[in-house]
Chains A and B, each alone.
Chain A
Amino acid sequence: MRRTTTFAALLSVSVLALGACSSSDSDGGDKASDNTSASASASADVCKDADGDGPKIGLAYDVGGRGDQSFNDSAYAGVAKAVDELDATCLEGEAQDAEPESAREDRLRQMADAGANAVVGVGFAYSDAINAVAPDYPDVNFGVVDGFDPDDKPNDNVAYFSFAANEASFLVGVAAAEKTASKQVGFVGGVHNDLIKGFEAGFTAGVKAVDPSIKVDVAYIEESDLSGFNDPAGGKTAAAGEFDKGADVVYHASGASGSGIFDAAVEAGDGNWAIGVDSDQYLTATADQQPHILTSALKRVDVATFDFIKSVADGSPKTSYVTYDLKNDGVGYSTSGGFVDDIKADIDGYADKIKSGEIKVPTAP
């Protein structure tokens, strides 16, 4: 019995030690520095030695933090630009997986107490925390990427950035329609909810705008369970089904399941394409996958973040819902790899038509 007690004690000590590692690790600032393919902006931390007299920015990352090669890095790029152009200074904080709501609130309060006048929460998960904190700091302006107001009481110092994902999807739909040889393309969504239906609607509209006879196969990994964004195996099965049935371009809006869609394109062989989403996924794809990534539908979190900071610096801070679309460069498509260079003029032509209002992109299929 004594031996087992000793063992149990050792076990609990080691668990505690591991826990300590976890929190000290999250403060380490240069996680992405060895990563050759990460965007260059992530390799140095501008917040450490910024000392301008512009706005003071608080940047609260979502889980993953800087170095995630996605939203967090993109928001950081916006802040870096603000440091550069607006003489801003900044503070950073990062969320942990499955942390309590109060941890998010504390992070925001610490930033506001430290004198930040523009606080940005990366990711919709900050919506509730900012709604709780904002009324206590009327002089601080808050922004939430992909955020929403959880109650009826409007906050006049909070801006919610939303992105016209349907417009970006329309443009990659045009690219898919111009590149397909089999006159059949596919879409794989992570979860069948309103947000992802917007991607599907935009993509389908873009394809049909070029050639109404092109068939669009649609598959969703999960009906309502959010695990559909985390299931590469399911994504690969769904995409392989579409490639098998004759599609040669498949667009995904399925988060981390996307790597499975890229695998399916590689397995389908030359002349089969996948289209990425949210960030320029060509840059983070493996060498095998890169020749199959036609383009990516972009959500410019960096543009939104910089735009918000600039509005604070100019003394007319943005509040309430702010939509970032093609008109203000808040969404777009990527050209890495050079696979869409030959049809760029066509895609940009459609983009101009959307900007002028000539084409209205649907938000639901």
Chain B
Amino acid sequence: MSTTQVDKSAPSERARKIGGMYRTYWLVMLVAVVALSLVRIATGADDITAANTLRAAILSACPILLAGMGGLWSERAGIVNIGLEGQMLLGTWGAAYFTYNYGPWVGLLGAAAMGALGGLLHGLATITFGVDHIVSGVAINIIGLGATTFLAEAFFSDYQYGGPRQLTGLDGLPFVTVPGLSDGLKSLNDQGWFVISDLAGLLAALTTKVSVVTILIAVIVVLTAWILWHTSFGLRLRSCGENPAAAESLGVNVYRYKYVAVLVSGGLAGLGGAFLALVAASGFTTNQSNGRGYIGLAAMIFGNWNPFGTLGASLLFGYTDALRLRSPSAVHALLLVVAIGLLAYAAWRFYQGARTSAIVLGLIGAAFLVWFLTTDTVPREFTGMTPYVVTLLVLALASQRLRPPAADGQVYRKGSAG
């Protein structure tokens, strides 16, 4: 009698919690759209929700998201993968080499394979030899840069449109546009109506010239969430990141799961490199990842080691990055968005009874508001930092609730379960 009650109440409790979480997501998104829309009308900075800006934002977010997903896989199994940057670089070379010789689809596979090779090296060092994860990761970044530079010089110098440091003119992958919908939404976006035009801009960006790789990435995010949280394989993999000794005592082959995780991790980072070389631009240059691997890692932490959190963080990065590159003047309008966001959060904290943090947040929000009202432009130096400042701000607000896997970054030796 009592046991059935427990069995009944446990899932419903969980469902309510998850339902509440999704409600919060939707609420936050709605507030963000309304705030952006208000700011757009108040400042006349149409670019901040223009379909083309949002499309560029998605393109900028994709490689970061893939790196973030890579980080998620390995860290969920307890391996800190700081080598994402190097694995991404290996991926750019793999994409270029295999696309040139066998076409872009094989290029994607080649990029994933090269990235996975970097992941294998990381796994060998950290899992089999027990090297410190950070040391190995840094080494992989150096190896990634050195190897791609060497390989590019060795292979691409003789190729058409190639040189010792670049290979341009690679075949691209197809784009998908939803006919009718795309044009209609774009013209709606141009109307400048409150909220409706902004949402139309977002939908237009999702229906106009979307790369098939972007669609593939969306599938990867959903698959990652499903595999890691809804299969027994995923449960075992995550148990290796939370408490490998307990996992091993229950018969889980910890080394094998860690290897799988780190291989997938490298492969995803390699795909991120392929996105840079094949979709975001049509060419390879040495060292073109430009720190996106590190940003992906930050996006994953900021997304609380969770696929959809990582997605949100990557989109935020991509958005601010696209905005600063496309319309530096619109970054000024972003100050108002930040001010509104901070003040709203402060009000929420005050309502919750956290007086001190509410006052601190309110003061910072007010400072941003004053900054917005007393200036017409943001200094160039600040524009370049936008993505990082916004992230730092959100991270500072969210960090109290972040929880990494318990055994993340610890070296685990087989048999230590006793």
The interface bits of chain A over 209-245 (1 if a CB of B lies within 8 angstroms of the residue's CB, else 0) are: 0000000000111111001001111111110110011
Q: How far is the CA of A35 from the CA of B56 in the complex (A)?
A: 34
Question: Shortest Cβ distance from A14 into chain B, in angstroms?
Answer: 12
- Does A25 have its Cβ within 8 Å of any Cβ on chain B? yes
Please name all residues of chain B whose beta carbon is closer than 8 Å to the beta carbon of A35 when the two chains form the complex.
Answer: 157-160, 162
Flag if A286 contacts B281 (CB, 8 Å).
Answer: no
Q: Which residue of B lies closest to A35 (CB)?
A: B158
Which of B250-258, B295-303, B321-329, B394-402 lies at the binding interface? Answer: B321-329
B381: Cβ under 8 A from any A Cβ: yes
A227–B164 touching, CB < 8 Å: no
Q: Which residue of A lies closest to B57 (CB)?
A: A237
Whether A238 and B326, one on each chain, are in contact in the complex, defined by CB atoms closer than 8 angstroms, is: yes
Query: What are the residues of chain B within 8 A of A220 when measuring CB–CB?
Result: 380, 384
A37, A256, A262 interface centre (most CB from chain B within 10 Å) = A256
How many residues on A have C-beta within 8 angstroms of the other chain's C-beta atoms?
56
Asked if B328 contacts A219 (CB within 8 A), the reply is: yes
Q: Is A200 an interface residue (CB 8 A)?
A: no
Q: How many residues on chain B are close to A (CB under 8 Å)?
A: 48
Q: How far is the CA of A303 from the CA of B154 in the complex (A)?
A: 30
Contact call A98/B146, Cβ cutoff below 8 A: yes
Question: Which residues B37-62 have CB closer than 8 A to chain A?
Answer: 52-53, 56, 59-60
Please name 8 further chain A to chain B contacts, defined as beta carbons within 8 Å, in addition to the given A67-B157, A67-B163, A220-B380, sorted by A numbering: A35-B160, A64-B165, A219-B326, A221-B325, A236-B281, A245-B327, A259-B282, A284-B161
**A–B complex contacts, Cβ < 8 Å, 23 sampled:** A22-B150, A31-B157, A31-B164, A35-B162, A63-B164, A97-B146, A97-B286, A192-B384, A223-B383, A223-B384, A223-B385, A224-B384, A227-B290, A231-B288, A231-B290, A232-B285, A233-B281, A233-B288, A236-B281, A256-B166, A259-B166, A286-B282, A289-B169
Of residues A32, A35, A235, A259, which shows the largest number of chain B Cβ atoms within 10 Å of its Cβ? Answer: A259
A12 close to B (CB within 8 Å): no
CB-CB under 8 A from B153, the residues of chain A are: 25-26, 64
Q: Name A residues whose Cβ lies closer than 8 Å to a Cβ of B.
A: 4, 8, 18, 21-22, 25-26, 31-37, 63-65, 67-70, 97-98, 192, 219-224, 227, 230-238, 240-241, 244-245, 256-257, 259-260, 262-263, 284-289
A65 cross-chain contacts in B, Cβ below 8 A? 164
Interface flag for B283 (CB, 8 Å): yes
Alpha-carbon gap, A263 to B159, bound state (A): 19
